[in-house]
Structure 1
Amino acid sequence: MNKNLFNQSVLIGFCLSSIFLTSCTDDDSNGGNTVPKGTYEKGVFVVNEGNFQKGNGAISFFDKQNKTVIADVFRTENNRPLGDVVQSATIHNDRTYVVVNNSNKIEIADANTFKSLGVINDLQLPRYLVVANNKGYVTEWVSFSGNGRVSVIDLTTNTIIKSLEVRKLPEKLIAVNNKIYVTNSGDNTISVINPTTDAIETTLTVGDSPNSLAVDAANKLWVLCGGQKNYNPDYSINENTSTPGSLIRINLATNAIEATLTFTSKTQSPEDLMVNGSKNKLYYRYSGKVFQQEIASTTLNSAAFLNRNFYGIGVDPVDNLIYGADAGSFTSDGKVVRFNPNGSPVDSFTVSLLPSEFLFK
């Protein structure tokens, strides 16, 4: 889609000349084209972490229709880099909130043009953000040893209005049923926040090192836990004191654990829990492969869905294509490989350094 297809003067002229034929609206009931919002209105954003302390993190954009790629949309539109370690991105009300971990900030950009709209500073190792009640909730590690926090952001003023102390190394979080569930990857808990009062209602005990979450078609919460890894003096994993990962299902009406599926390995950690568009299949990375899990299954699937060691994965909620982020050598541009829901490859394209996450729009 061409950027700025209609500028303001052309649009006004068109409306005046056609006033007796049709009304000038964005939604043409006669089947005409809508006025495009920008170059990045429809497609896939790819989060590229970049190298630590190099300041070369980026957001790439993939146009699914034309199969074209812009490797660094923020630099392209704003003539400056995003920053050091781009961790994640969230879209709300046509705004993209890009969490830049080692730069301790959130960059705000128009979701359709990617022009900069502001910056939220004063964060400490921020990781992921969700939105509820027009407020942003961002996890922050703060440090690598003590408790982390969730900061509450007024998205009208882009200011931090409150910070809630949670447990160690808070990671991904999800907003569901007017609650926010926060994985505390440094221990074995989930903090539950009420976004109406902005208070922690309760803390749930799950498996060791929870890292990601998903809600299925039955409105059940799934939590993927990496397991606790303890090391010997030679830095090998001590299997006697370490714990395996687990996939846990929680009843959101009661916050009770309904099922715990335990992995066999104590040396490998499952990560990146995803759900498909119909919300009846789960996906995750484990032991250098990608696994698919039916939500009705009572045992973990032992056969890998994809025998590929990706740095991150994503599932398009519209066509259910699976996206694999291949970081390659970690020093040169990575690539993305797409697969059909049956696991057959579709295509691939080059992005920027260390692709890790996907944002579909």
Structure 2
Amino acid sequence: MKKTNFFRSFFLAATLALTSIGFTSCDDKNDVEPELPVEVRGPYDQKGVFVLNEGNYTHTNASVSFMSDSAGHTVANNIFSKANADRPLGDVLTDLDLVEDRAYITVNNSNKIEVVNAYTFKTEAVLENLKQPRYFAALDADKAYVTEWVVYGEPGRVSVIDLKTMQITKSIPVGPQPEELILVDSKLYVANSGENTITVINTATDAVENTITVSDSPTNLVLDRNKNLWVLSAGKVMYTSDWSAIDYTLTTAGALNRVTLTTQNVQTFTFDSNRTMPANLAINGSGDKLYFNYDGKTLVQDINASSLSSTVIIDRSFHGMGVDPETGNIYGGDHNNWSGDGTVYVYSPDGTQVSSFKAGIGPNGFMFN
């Protein structure tokens, strides 16, 4: 996971505004207007990266860490609980999104979205009674969507959320096990990992408009600079009749699909083996390079490539991965066999490791602000 959001854009706009104030002057130096002080609204009102720590399944030890971009790159762990009287965040953190001055934290096995102040991480609201929520996407400050599995193996749904009231206004049926979702213009695209489809929803009517067929088990979605949608499909795993082993005669290989949204044409790049699954698709800030994990390695691919890349940029894979859109640095989370805290490794755009730090249990995604 995944991402950037409105928060970093706001920070940059504010910085530019203050800079312009600082350089506004008349010819007389005595007429120079003083710079206005920057109001700090909380410890996370600064540039940095939030780390999503999944936690152990069926436990309530999911958490959020924050590494500051300031000198020293200070790391603060367990920031939700510390801001909320040691209350645990919940069971299996899957997503965190920043929308204006709020952060929306999706906690899958606790069946909720925790809404916190983005600068302090103190809870402002909780949307409960969801059914296995996975990922969240905001259309604007008033409306958002969340994917829900509901029941494993059966059709899932996308619920529409009124962000002002934190109420569900509509639920839209989609394919089984819906995972990541992405907004492009007036359309919402939803990856149905329990089959081989992308559901297309019109955000004006909140009705299903179309279904795009891709490779088996689509999970990750990113948009490139040409407004092509890239879909990472893990491949369908099939088992022997007694469920004792994987049946590789029936299991399908994973694939990377490029969808031209204007025509909905799908180009498929299939991986060479069905014995390892690709994961963790990410894209750089300029939208021209893709990153993904496959066969224990991290590979990079140009969006204009005519075949699947074999270029290894980091000689290992990760539990979760993200790319800072400003620096191009690659962040990878290691769950350390789920025995205690995980580790986050940071690499420069050329794949050279520049740092590492401890986070919570099972770091599986990153939100840059």
Scaled by the length of structure 2, what TM-score is found? 0.88
Query: Aligned residue for 1:140?
Result: 148
Q: Structure 1, unaligned stretches of length 5 or more? A: 1-25
Query: Aligned residue for 1:30?
Result: 22
In 1, the alpha carbon distance for the partners of 2:244 and 2:313 equals 31
Query: Aligned residue for 1:5?
Result: none
In 2, the alpha carbon distance for the partners of 1:190 and 1:243 equals 18
Whether the 8 Å CA contact 1:231–1:237 is kept in 2: the answer is yes
String of CA shifts for 1:14-53, please: whole Å, max 9, x gaps.
xxxxxxxxxxxx9471263522222112211000011111
Question: What code does the residue aligned with 2:237 have?
Answer: K
- TM-superposed CA distance for 1:303, in Å, is 3.3
Identity score, percent = 44
In 1, the alpha carbon distance for the partners of 2:175 and 2:337 equals 34
Alignment of 1:70 with 2:70, yes or no, is: no
Q: Structure 2, unaligned stretches of length 5 or more? A: 1-16, 24-34
- TM-superposed CA distance for 1:210, in Å, is 0.3
Question: What code does the residue aligned with 1:96 have?
Answer: A
String of CA shifts for 1:87-118, please: whole Å, max 9, x gaps.
11111112100000111000001111111111
Alignment of 1:243 with 2:235, yes or no, is: no
In 2, the alpha carbon distance for the partners of 1:270 and 1:201 equals 29
- TM-superposed CA distance for 1:234, in Å, is 6.2
Whether the 8 Å CA contact 1:51–1:331 is kept in 2: the answer is no
String of CA shifts for 1:132-185, please: whole Å, max 9, x gaps.
143111000011121111000000111000001111000001001211100000
Q: 1:173-192 residue pairs with structure 2 within 5 A? A: 173-192=181-200
The alignment partner of 2:83 has SS state of helix
Query: Aligned residue for 2:111?
Result: 104
Query: Aligned residue for 1:222?
Result: 230
Question: What code does the residue aligned with 1:57 have?
Answer: A
Question: What code does the residue aligned with 1:69 have?
Answer: V
Structure showing greater relative contact order (alpha-carbon pairs closer than 8 Å, 6 or more residues apart): 2
Question: What code does the residue aligned with 1:84 have?
Answer: D
String of CA shifts for 1:43-64, please: whole Å, max 9, x gaps.
1100001111110100111112
In structure 2, which of residues 44, 50, 61 is the aligned counterpart of residue 56 of structure 1?
A: 61
The alignment partner of 1:285 has SS state of strand
String of CA shifts for 1:338-361, please: whole Å, max 9, x gaps.
000000000001011111000000
Query: Aligned residue for 1:91?
Result: 98
Question: What code does the residue aligned with 1:241 have?
Answer: L
Ranges of 4+ aligned residues in structure 1 off by more than 6 Å: none
- TM-superposed CA distance for 1:254, in Å, is 2.0
Whether the 8 Å CA contact 2:63–2:79 is kept in 1: the answer is yes
Alignment of 1:40 with 2:44, yes or no, is: yes
Whether the 8 Å CA contact 1:229–1:243 is kept in 2: the answer is yes
Q: 1:202-351 residue pairs with structure 2 within 5 A? A: 202-232=210-240, 233=242, 235-257=244-266, 259-351=267-359
Q: 1:149-168 residue pairs with structure 2 within 5 A? A: 149-168=157-176
In 2, the alpha carbon distance for the partners of 1:333 and 1:273 equals 24
The alignment partner of 1:76 has SS state of helix
In 2, the alpha carbon distance for the partners of 1:146 and 1:326 equals 31
The alignment partner of 2:248 has SS state of coil
In 1, the alpha carbon distance for the partners of 2:201 and 2:60 equals 33
Whether the 8 Å CA contact 1:275–1:281 is kept in 2: the answer is yes
In 2, the alpha carbon distance for the partners of 1:230 and 1:84 equals 28
Whether the 8 Å CA contact 2:56–2:361 is kept in 1: the answer is yes
- TM-superposed CA distance for 1:236, in Å, is 3.1
In 2, the alpha carbon distance for the partners of 1:103 and 1:331 equals 22
In 2, the alpha carbon distance for the partners of 1:234 and 1:273 equals 29
- TM-superposed CA distance for 1:271, in Å, is 1.4
Whether the 8 Å CA contact 2:301–2:311 is kept in 1: the answer is no
**Residues 1:82 and 1:209: Cα distance change in structure 2 (over 3 Å):** same
- Count of residue pairs the alignment pairs up: 335
In 2, the alpha carbon distance for the partners of 1:38 and 1:148 equals 38
In 1, the alpha carbon distance for the partners of 2:299 and 2:245 equals 25
- TM-superposed CA distance for 1:235, in Å, is 3.4
In 2, the alpha carbon distance for the partners of 1:64 and 1:241 equals 47
Whether the 8 Å CA contact 1:229–1:267 is kept in 2: the answer is no
Scaled by the length of structure 1, what TM-score is found? 0.90
Whether the 8 Å CA contact 2:182–2:189 is kept in 1: the answer is yes
- TM-superposed CA distance for 1:251, in Å, is 1.0
The alignment partner of 1:299 has SS state of coil
String of CA shifts for 1:231-288, please: whole Å, max 9, x gaps.
224633222111111111111112221x211101112111121110111000111122
